[in-house]
Structure 1
């Protein structure tokens, strides 16, 4: 049971002996990463303008023919034809409650074993009970010319709608076993959602590709729990990457003031928000005295000051020899990218690249091998290697 006093979180246990024992446990602190102290990785690349007219390009998805799909958070889906700069509006979107941090969010294309392609999207939806909205996951097929969504199917809609405009999440990734993962932020209700398995928000979810709930999800036998939940205790996860080679799911999330986290996501684990955190309130006041706690998973890495992480991308292209095999992680607050090197379940290094490029919201690697960036207020750019 959580005891909430003066906006600070403590945790009560039955029995003084257990409490005393826990208080004597050694603290396993996660060192803060200060982006100013990260080593730089020089790159001989130039950011070339590709398309303007997208204010907040939440996601970019590359199609096999070289076209790009781009979400505009305000509620539009655009098609950018290969070698053009004109945005074409894709029709067939559901009703979207674009407010605050909500709107049209992530998209991810999946091809099944029968070569049937589905486009998955997350967005803020006002459907269901209560005022306001919450994050929904849907899928649809693309028309042959990629300008129309067909056969739309809503796979999951978070309950407990809220009029708050914060923390919708949301990213989408697939594993190699036929599951889709997506995130919903705590919706600005840290006291209610993240630690309560009966409520949506502050969670990462796992579904079959058609929306069915897997029978081996960690909480399917708990009658009062959301059975789609894969992990909980999250604040606002806006970046995910599935390491197919090692069968690992990674996610990063926004902390408050300080304490942005990178987490290795595992089934059923509690990642602690808001009972434990390396951050403080935006005003500078403290809301918890705990950075670690028994039964709550500590992050692999944390950034203080906050970098406002947004997306993740594994680079496989030969066009960027220094980046191949690394995972790019974009920062909105300080206008740079990190190049992360992983070894199995360990983050080995972080290097800073492209400092000053702008508020990077989204990342994609095109069918042409180039890396594309979505920058708030600047549109879409391509990283062109300079010889």
Structure 2
């Protein structure tokens, strides 16, 4: 059985677990959706990564990693380091290495506690599933933001394994806005590192003279969705604005995306942010929302289950509790938006394209769920 075939098999098997008996249908502009609850009982799930051979890893913000199989959720994986839980902080995203089948390596991001505050950190570890209790071994922090902050907000953070094996890591400004404009501070940035934490030679400033060597792009407020996009090439991200001004961006090496100098939003008290919506030296977003939908989770849909969505962006929304489908042309220009499932499942924290082309959602709730979206019409998978 091939790697992709085995993943497709488990995705279908998971959809047939007892919890999946909770099935509902929804009409959208182009397709009829079937929504199945794969599992409940997750406390504020944040990220999900499919494993070869079958299962999926899911993080819970209070500091747990669970393994989702066709029989249900595992007990928490042992060996997760202590996380700072509060506000938006906790255990956040998770991803697997390209050589996972050989190495067992995973990556996860979390709010790391320290004497003088907290900051986002990314660790690598080896997942050992031998024996009765799965556990993490050889845990090593490969990146962290310094200095730390007393804040509990704006950590980011997504991990994207690039086609070349490097990691893109998104960070928030830690509610200290001007850190996003400090070129030697990894807060408010997209970071690019190798899997061992070292710096790629083709980063914008690997010598660290113009900006910190790990930095790919700057001027970001709080990126909570990121994906490698075959349509535009490279990374596409979604980030939170303040009151309005949520953005879709295409972060390119060495460029500045403006926060908090330019923004399409306002401060929460209605006052102006920075100097306006545009200025020389700062990049414009591909798209923005006003009012804010609080975007979290992003997919550039490439699957076969929904050919009508091929090349579109699917974005989760926290405050508006929906999935936004951004329809694009062949060059990646966003043409229009469809808002789906509004208010049906609560706050949508993450959106994941499964190997079989289904779309999985994580709901950011005390009793969080994993939801699988598949075709509900006669053109079934």
Give the TM-score band, short-chain normalised: 0.7 to 0.9
Does 2:373 align with 1:383?
A: yes
Conserved? CA contact 1:102–1:165, under 8 Å:
yes
Deviations 1:122-171 (A, max 9, x none): 101124xx511100011112114592212222111111111111100000
RCO higher in structure (CA 8 A, sep ≥6)? 1
**Paired positions, count:** 344
Instruction: Select which of 345, 363, 375 maps to 2:351.
Output: 363
Say what the alpha-carbon RMSD is for the aligned residues.
Answer: 2.1
The DSSP-based 3-state class of the residue aligned with 2:157 is coil
Partner of 1:22: none
The DSSP-based 3-state class of the residue aligned with 1:194 is helix
Q: In structure 2, what is the Cα distance between the partners aligned to 1:106 and 1:226?
A: 23
Conserved? CA contact 2:98–2:165, under 8 Å:
no
Q: In structure 2, what is the Cα distance between the partners aligned to 1:367 and 1:167?
A: 30
Instruction: Select which of 28, 44, 63 maps to 2:51.
Output: 63
Partner of 2:149: 162
Does 2:68 align with 1:80?
A: yes
Partner of 2:243: 257
- TM-superposed CA distance for 1:98, in Å, is 1.2
The 5 A counterparts of 1:84-123 are: 84-112=71-99, 115-123=102-110
Moved more, 203-212 or 331-340: 331-340
Deviations 1:20-64 (A, max 9, x none): xxxxxxxxxxxxxxxxxxxx6243223222211213111111122
Q: In structure 2, what is the Cα distance between the partners aligned to 1:151 and 1:252?
A: 32
User: Which is richer in helix?
Assistant: 2
Q: In structure 1, what is the Cα distance between the partners aligned to 2:275 and 2:301?
A: 39
- Go from structure 1 to structure 2 and tell me whether the alpha carbon gap of 1:322 and 1:345 turns closer, same or farther (over 3 Å shift): closer
Partner of 2:254: 268
The DSSP-based 3-state class of the residue aligned with 2:274 is coil
Moved more, 169-178 or 253-262: 169-178
- Go from structure 1 to structure 2 and tell me whether the alpha carbon gap of 1:114 and 1:50 turns closer, same or farther (over 3 Å shift): closer
The 5 A counterparts of 1:1-387 are: 41-82=29-70, 84-112=71-99, 115-127=102-114, 131-145=116-130, 147-191=134-178, 193-223=179-209, 225-244=211-230, 246-342=232-328, 343-357=330-344, 358-377=346-365, 378-387=368-377
The normalised TM-score by structure 1 is: 0.83
Conserved? CA contact 1:65–1:367, under 8 Å:
no
- Go from structure 1 to structure 2 and tell me whether the alpha carbon gap of 1:67 and 1:195 turns closer, same or farther (over 3 Å shift): same
The DSSP-based 3-state class of the residue aligned with 2:206 is coil
- TM-superposed CA distance for 1:215, in Å, is 2.1
**What runs of 5+ residues in structure 1 fail to find an aligned partner?**
1-39
**What runs of 5+ residues in structure 2 fail to find an aligned partner?**
1-27
Conserved? CA contact 2:66–2:73, under 8 Å:
no
- TM-superposed CA distance for 1:246, in Å, is 4.9
The DSSP-based 3-state class of the residue aligned with 2:83 is coil
